[in-house]
Chain A
Amino acid sequence: MAGRKRLNRVLGGAVLLWGLWPLDALAVQAHEGYENLITHQLGHLLLAAGLVFLLVQMRRLPTAATHPGWRAFFFFLVTLLFWDLLTFVGHWLDLTREEGQFLRDGDRILAFRPRSTTDFLFYFSKLDHLLLVPALVFLYLALRHWRHSGEEVP
């Protein structure tokens, strides 16, 4: 106990001296460069984690495989998860494309020249609504089933 007290005194004294002779504090850190992308990608990962968690939890329900509502909700989760992974990949691929691969008219892109397999994946990632819209359709169907089943959500 006596040693801890001594340590607290030493640390307290250091903080006091630090306060008496301050340098540039830089208390609020600036966010620049890739930080936005990284934050966004972390968001995608969290979304993926949430969807996987929902899938796992949902699969534990006794009626998950049989009730049409839960089946539709399962497809919604899976489709949205694919969409999430596709867009996640698409954001990384955005960084690796060269400007010369795009045919432009001013700021407008007219065409894209793929040079590798990942370029095709990049191109497909730009068509992500082909997954997002079906995912929302499945969600709507799930809600509709539950609404019309006349029972509580099983």
Chain B
Amino acid sequence: MTLPWLPVVLVDVLGSASALILAAACVFSARRLVARRPADSFLHYLYFLTLAIAIFACSRSVGHLVKQGLLHAGLADLWRQIAPFSGAANTATFIMIFGFSLYFDRQRRLKHEIDRAGHDLAAARAARAQAEETELRLRTIFDAMEDVVYVVDREARLVFCNRRLEALLPEIEVGHLCPGAKDGYFLPASTARLDPVTIGERPLGQELHIGESLFSLVRIGLFWGDGRPVTLFVGRDTTAERHLEEQLRHAQKMEAVGTLAGGIAHDINNALTPIIGYAEIGLLKFGSDPEAAKYFSDISSSASRAAKLISGILAFSRRQVIQKTNTDLNRLLRSLMAMLQNIVEEDIELRLQLADNLPSLAVDQGQIEQVLTNCIVNARDAMPEGGLLLIESRTEPDCDTLCQGCGEVASGPHVVLSITDTGIGMDEKTLTRIFEPYFTTKPRGKGTGLGLAMSHGIVHQHGGHITFVSEPGKGTTCRIYLPVRGGDERNAPESAAAETVPVVKEQPGRDRLLLVAEDNQAVRQLVRDCLTTYGFRVEEAENGGAALERFLELGGRLDLLVTDVIMPDMDGRQLAERLRRQQADLPVLFMSGYSGEVVARKGVLEDGVEFIGKPFSPAALLEKVERALAAGTAPEDGAVP
């Protein structure tokens, strides 16, 4: 049996060629595989393993092809010389593949470890990025806070602080021992000692002064990120709140003082009214006797001083009755100048600078005069060696000034009256107290301490504000801000016109019939006596009901109703209303010893309503009565204002 050798040769040649092609394809495929995931170390291993197999396949195939080629070409001897090299190369490739095979498992494990490390690293990076983001977020929040936030460890070293604390205390550094540290806690030197806190404890109520600011502290004991116990401090800036609380306390104090003053004033005014009245009547009747005249005059002047004191108390407590009239403040200042020349010494130069086109304001002339006088007297007293006293008026169309007395801001259009002196000035401490009642820097007996308190109250009652700018040795400027309110000014009667109301000078009574309704017997009697003296026919009633009965008994016709504002059962306004239903043109004169606020609530301070505040003199009463009679009739619709 003979087997042909040709198939052997054909398989050898074709197989070698195919092996070459396949080896190249495998290497190409392995390279592509590595390129897909270059970070995969196992793919690199597979690539080198494939490369080793391809080298083996190439070595063997090339050798076989050369062998077949040389044998076919009749160069068998040459092949015999080459053959050992070809075989040796093949042997080397076997060893190479064997070597690679040993690393299969190791490479797999290495790859898994790298993958796991990579995942761990990625997780760690993600966690770190998240932590950084969280820290940044928290840092942003902490830094945006107006509160101070800081953490201190048991060794009194600062662990963390926000930007607010850094801004307040630039010398603070994390890791450094906190200044003023005691018992392991951060305590700036100016603060009181804080007791240590234990973990989880939240003591409240401590206060921390940093610079000008006051912080209310909350402390929380907690564990820091590294496990050490620390104390977290959160301090809320309560400076503004404290300021507001002080303002509120001041306002409440003023309210209480005002309420007290108002109540006292009513009773004292009722008591003073007959004293002043009868003193003047006595003076009128017994004035021919010099001794009696002196007694009555002393009684009258003492009672008037008491009345002035009551008026002052009502003024600073803003409960004074103010009756506004449309006033040209420039004219008011000019008229004051004559009086000022008398109270200002010659070594003080008095200068007036008035703005043109100053709008007229509805103010109580007498009250504003009082304010200006108080300020000017203070300016004069501040210049014992002489100097310049400058009085100015101007308009501020868009005012934005903080009132020192009440902490409010004067905003909008204002008329500003300034009194500037070149005197001794005031320090900051004095400036903060100038509006306090009975606070004075003047020697005992020279100042009551009520002047600026009254001025402040009066200006505030006018809706305005008052400020002082001063420095020791550089003089003082007082500015009075009075708001410009279009409506008020137009509605208020002209003061000049008010003064031109015709007054009955001769035979004032002319047998006119007046009904006096007053619950205070002494005052009622005084009014009756005064008006009887001036020739009026006076009927009395002790309350509203009695007044109604008397009105009917008198035939339902009166020339004037003089009534107290506040009476039991029926007040003066209600009485006037009831009577005007019977007699529509009945003139009414209201009188009261209550504060302006109380009287205003009763609606008797409106325009066109005659009012006289207690205590009053007989002359003042007569003037008011005459004015009410001259005003004639009630409003056309007959309604009580």
Q: Which residues of A contact B (CB under 8 A)?
A: 36, 39-40, 42-44, 46-47, 49-51, 53-54, 57-58, 60-61, 80, 102-103, 106-114, 123, 126-130, 132-133, 136-137, 139-140, 143-144, 146-147, 152-153
Contact among A127, A143, A144 with B7 in the assembled complex (CB-CB below 8 Å): A127
Determine if B3 and A114 form an interchain contact, defined as CB atoms under 8 angstroms apart: yes
Determine if B29 and A147 form an interchain contact, defined as CB atoms under 8 angstroms apart: yes
Contact among A53, A107, A110, A137 with B101 in the assembled complex (CB-CB below 8 Å): A53
**What are some 20 contacts across the A-B interface (CB < 8 A)?**
A36-B84, A40-B88, A42-B91, A49-B101, A61-B108, A107-B71, A107-B76, A109-B5, A109-B8, A110-B5, A114-B1, A114-B3, A126-B11, A130-B11, A133-B19, A139-B50, A140-B22, A140-B25, A143-B50, A153-B42
A42 to B94, CA, bound (A): 9
Tell me what chain B mostly uses at the interface: helix, strand, loop, or mixed.
helix
Determine if A123 and B8 form an interchain contact, defined as CB atoms under 8 angstroms apart: yes
Contact among B26, B88, B97 with A36 in the assembled complex (CB-CB below 8 Å): B88
Determine if A127 and B8 form an interchain contact, defined as CB atoms under 8 angstroms apart: yes
Contact status of A47 and B2, CB under 8 A, knowing A36-B87, A129-B14, A147-B32: no
Chain A residue with Cβ nearest B53 = A139
**Nearest CB of chain B from residue A82's CB, rounded to whole Å:** 15
Which residues, 598 to 629 on B, are CB-close (under 8 Å) to A?
A: none
Which residues, 8 to 47 on B, are CB-close (under 8 Å) to A?
A: 8, 11-12, 14-16, 18-19, 22-23, 25-26, 29-30, 32-33, 36-37, 40, 42-43, 46
A102 to B19, CA, bound (A): 27
Chain A residue with Cβ nearest B47 = A143
A24 to B197, CA, bound (A): 95
How many residue-residue contacts, CB under 8 A, span A and B? 134
**Nearest CB of chain A from residue B94's CB, rounded to whole Å:** 4
B317 beta carbon closer than 8 Å to chain A: no
Contact status of A136 and B19, CB under 8 A, knowing A50-B100, A57-B105: yes
A126 to B97, CA, bound (A): 22
Determine if B5 and A140 form an interchain contact, defined as CB atoms under 8 angstroms apart: no
Determine if A111 and B7 form an interchain contact, defined as CB atoms under 8 angstroms apart: no
Determine if A143 and B26 form an interchain contact, defined as CB atoms under 8 angstroms apart: yes
Q: Which residues of B contact A (CB under 8 A)?
A: 1-5, 7-8, 11-12, 14-16, 18-19, 22-23, 25-26, 29-30, 32-33, 36-37, 40, 42-43, 46, 50, 53, 57, 60, 71-72, 74, 76, 84, 87-88, 90-92, 94-95, 97-102, 104-105, 108
Chain A residue with Cβ nearest B1 = A114
**Nearest CB of chain A from residue B95's CB, rounded to whole Å:** 6
Contact among B18, B42, B71 with A129 in the assembled complex (CB-CB below 8 Å): B18
**Nearest CB of chain B from residue A134's CB, rounded to whole Å:** 10
Contact among A60, A61, A112, A147 with B5 in the assembled complex (CB-CB below 8 Å): A112
**Nearest CB of chain A from residue B240's CB, rounded to whole Å:** 64
Contact status of A46 and B94, CB under 8 A, knowing A57-B104, A130-B11: yes
Nearest 5 A/B pairs, CB to CB: A129-B15, A50-B101, A107-B76, A50-B98, A43-B94
